[in-house]
Every structure is written in C-alpha cells, then in structure tokens.
Amino acid sequence: MVASGSENEVVGRVEKGLLIDGQWRQAAGGGTFAVEDPATGRTLGEISDATPADAMAALDAADRARAKWAAVPPRRRAEILRRAHDLLIARRHEFALLITLEMGKSLGESLAEVDYGANYLRWFGEEAVRIDGSWKVSEDGTARVLVTRHPVGPCLLITPWNAPLAMPARKIGPAVAAGCTMIVKPAPQAPLTTAALAGVLIEAGLPDGVLNTIPTTDAAAVTEPLLRDGRLRKLSFTGSTPVGRVLLAQAAGTVLRTSMELGGNAPFIVCRDADLDAAVEGAMVAKLRNVGEACIAANRFHVHAAVAEEFSEKLVSRMSTLVVGPGTDPATDLGPLIDDRQRRKVADLVDDAVAAGARVRTGGDVPAGPGYFYPPTVLTDVPARTRITREEIFGPVAAIRTFTTEADVLRDANDTEFGLVSYLYTRDLSQALRMSEHLETGMVGLNRGYVSDPSAPFGGVKQSGIGREGGNTGIDEYLEQKYIAIDATGSAAVPR
C-alpha cells in the first residue's frame, strides 16, 4: 500500500536520532533500524539504533543535569508539563496518526491515547507543586522529626509498544514533576511516537540532559551497563512479567529503586443478576481496547451459567459486526496486531483451546495478508486450565467459561500468578463489595470495563507488578524521603 501524503509528512517530521543532552544525534557507528506499519508491512522509516556506548552517554548527560534540574522550582517544572500537555492536545490528530501507523490501532483509539497520555503530564504537573514533607514532635519529646522529600535521581524508563505515547508519559510525567533526570528506552516496534513526545517536552522547555531517549534493537545489551552503574538510581519498567523478573534480578546488583508494571490475566465476571447489556458494553471495551493488546484486557470471561448463553450471544453479535482493517481507515473498528509473532501466539492459544474442546462462536481464522490482522473471536465452553486461561492472550479473543457459585468463581479468578485488574458485573451491592475485596488484583472495574485514569493509582499485585502509576501516590515512586532528627532536649523543660 502506498502511504498518503499526510502519513509521510507526519513520519517525516519525527526526529529519527537519539536524544542525548538536548541534541538529536546518530547512534555510535551510525546504525539504524526500520519501523514497520503492522497494517501493511511497509517500512515507515529508519530510526537510530542505540549502542551500549550511547546508553552511557545518555547516563552521563542525565547525571550532569541531575543537580541543576533538582533545584528548578516546582512551579517551573509544572509549567513545562502543562505546556507539553497543551502542545500534545493541539497536535492530537498528528500524534494519533503516528500511533496508528506504527502500532496499528484505529485512529479513534489513538486519539483517546493522546488525550490519556497528555492527561498524565497535566496531572503530574499539578502534583509537582504539592510535594510536601512533615514535622512532628518525637515520641519522647527530645527531638523534632522533620521529613523532607527529594528526587530519587537519574531514572531508566523502559516502555512497551502497546501504548507508545501513554506508557512513556505515565513515567516521564512523575519523573519530571519530582525533579528527576531520565533515560527512556522505548520498544523497537513503536519508537517514533516516543521520539515525537520527547520533541514536545523539549519544545515545552525541558532543559538539556533531563530527558534522553535511546531506541535500540538490543535492549538487554544497551540497558545492562546502565543497571550496573551506581549513578542510576531508579528503574521503572512496563512490560511482560518474564522480562520484569530479569530486570528485577539485575536491579538487585545496585539495589535500585524499582517500579514494575507487568503482565495481566484479568477475569471478567458476570453475575446472574448483572445488567447484561451493560456487561456486554463493558466487555467490548475491556476486551477490544487496543486490539486486545492491553495489560488490563479482559483475558478470562466467567459468566454465571444461568445467563451465559444470553451473554455469549449478545457478545458474538457485537463482535462479529466489527470492521477489521487498517487503523488509518476511518471505517475501521479493529486494527491489526503488532507483528506476526504476536498473531501466531494468539492463533496458537485459540487452536489449543479448540483442541481441548472450546467452541468457536465467531472469528478464529487467520486472514491472508498483508498486515497482521486477527478477527474478533468468541470461544465458549473453554475448559479450565487451558493455556488461553493461564497466559496473556494480547489479542481480540474472548474465552468464556461458566460458574455457579461465588466461591468457585473467586477461586478460579484468583488462580493465577497475575493480579493486575478484575472486572465485576453485579447489581447486588453487598456481593459487589464482598467480591471486590476478595479479588486479588490491584484494581477492580465494578460495572465498568475501563479503569485507566490519571487520577487513580494504576498497578498490580502478585506478579503483575510493584508500585503505582498515577493518582496521589504516583509521584512517590520518584521521590526519596529524608528524615532530619533535630535535637530538642534544650526545649524539653517547660518554662515556669
């Protein structure tokens, strides 16, 4: 497929170098790699391929900028973030097109991602001026306890491809607000949006060296020397649980502060008394947002046996009418998956479930190319403990099982190493509260298929992660506390 003029212009405007110390520069040795459009397989452009030497240059820059940036007044940091937010919103169509071109999702979804990512910059700008400390009298009265908070220092921010604007924004926002310098390593499938985001932050006034970007095709080799260097003080990672485990082990070497936003295996529970139409609407969002390539995607549907057939039919009728096609086509509901590897994984999970006895109610066939499309698919009668119920699907496939008792469904829902989010549909308030408390996840969507919100603490328990992004505590991930013990023995005697 030939790219339209505006597509070429949007891609052409993106800086393709590495951002180090405020300059866009070529990688050491001049290497580049191609970024592909998953809807067509064509190359969108070539971007510099960072080496370990470039990563160290980025750390040198982040370390040099560290003290000066930490001393910049919070109001100024807030204003930079607010300006970057406003620039993103002013260029939301351009950013949305870029996201769609390199990641695949529909333009409508990409617009929503621009707004969502920009809101993290605005939210954390508002938090920058509210970093506080505390003061109190010690327990025995002999001291005063002063607690102050300080930027943690240079951070390494590693992000996935599935939300190439929102995922870096969710880390850059609080790091900038807290006064940290940083190195961003985007995923190689979708580095252009992150480069464009970095450009906006520079335009908004971020000083040289505060934000550095190192796209690379050799993530492990490029990040390993950074993780070994004592000048790096923090690792924030969003990606899969297996990679998170590797990075946590590496971070142990220098006892790095870590934030981990890892994989999910979300249960979507529909109780007997649920509003089924609302549950289907919620399922469409929870399952199909981001073409199903979301850590918070509904992965396992548990529907009460009494309403399972009605729910399944309604979901099939909604999913089977979706228009699958290039995200750039305004008629498209569902774009392609990110690459052939991801599509093969989704197809394998479906084939495995079908071989175990699941029934395909719609979809299930891999279409001919070009592009990595996979149809919206509904499976019913999915047996317990099949791979599709244990692994992250990361595709538009709803795997439905039934339950009859609350105890059974809670046991099933919690029977996973993951604990990111659960979705629960019921009209019974006490059941809603009881089940929400027993679901072992960091977030619960109660009669709602969408939990992403800059003002809320996003994150998981168990092997879905450590720490929270957003909300009132998101900035804490980038701050250290310092306690100053002030001797007050002289003031202990009360004057008479």
Binding residues for ligand NAP, rule: CB under 6 A, are 158-162, 167, 185, 187-188, 219-220, 223, 238-240, 243, 246-247, 261-264, 295, 392, 420, 460, 465
Question: Cβ 133 to ligand NAP, closest distance in Å?
Answer: 29
Question: Cβ 463 to ligand NAP, closest distance in Å?
Answer: 11
| Secondary structure (3-state) at 187 | coil
Q: Return the number of the residue (174 or 179) whose C-beta is nearest ligand NAP.
A: 174
Q: Return the number of the residue (223 or 380) whose C-beta is nearest ligand NAP.
A: 223
Cα–Cα distance list, 317 to 222, 312, 322, 486 (Å): 47, 9, 9, 68
| Catalytic position from the list 7, 155, 295, 469 | 295
For ligand NAP, the nearest residue by Cβ is: 239
Question: Cβ 258 to ligand NAP, closest distance in Å?
Answer: 13
Q: Return the number of the residue (7 or 261) whose C-beta is nearest ligand NAP.
A: 261
Q: Return the number of the residue (78 or 251) whose C-beta is nearest ligand NAP.
A: 251
> What is the Cα–Cα distance from 201 to 169, expressed in whole angstroms?
10
**Residue that the structure tokens 């870590």 belong to:** 258
> What is the Cα–Cα distance from 116 to 119, expressed in whole angstroms?
5
Closest by CA to 251, choosing from 224, 270, 273, 277, is: 224
> What is the Cα–Cα distance from 22 to 185, expressed in whole angstroms?
16
Q: Return the number of the residue (202 or 295) whose C-beta is nearest ligand NAP.
A: 295
> What is the Cα–Cα distance from 377 to 151, expressed in whole angstroms?
46
Find out whether 457 and 468 touch, Cβ atoms under 8 Å. yes
Does residue 295 have an active-site annotation? yes
Q: Return the number of the residue (451 or 479) whose C-beta is nearest ligand NAP.
A: 451
Find out whether 214 and 183 touch, Cβ atoms under 8 Å. yes
Residues 6+ apart with CB under 8 A from 454: 116, 119, 120, 122, 123, 470, 471
Cα–Cα distance list, 62 to 32, 257, 399 (Å): 23, 17, 46
Q: Return the number of the residue (265 or 380) whose C-beta is nearest ligand NAP.
A: 265
| Catalytic position from the list 261, 392, 469, 477 | 261
Does residue 224 have an active-site annotation? no
Handedness of CA 342, 103, 264, 226 (dihedral sign): positive
Closest by CA to 370, choosing from 336, 397, 404, 399, is: 336
Q: Which residues does residue 238 pair with via DSSP β-bridges, in sequence order?
A: 261
Question: Cβ 409 to ligand NAP, closest distance in Å?
Answer: 23
**Residue that the structure tokens 């924030």 belong to:** 236
- List active site positions: 261, 295
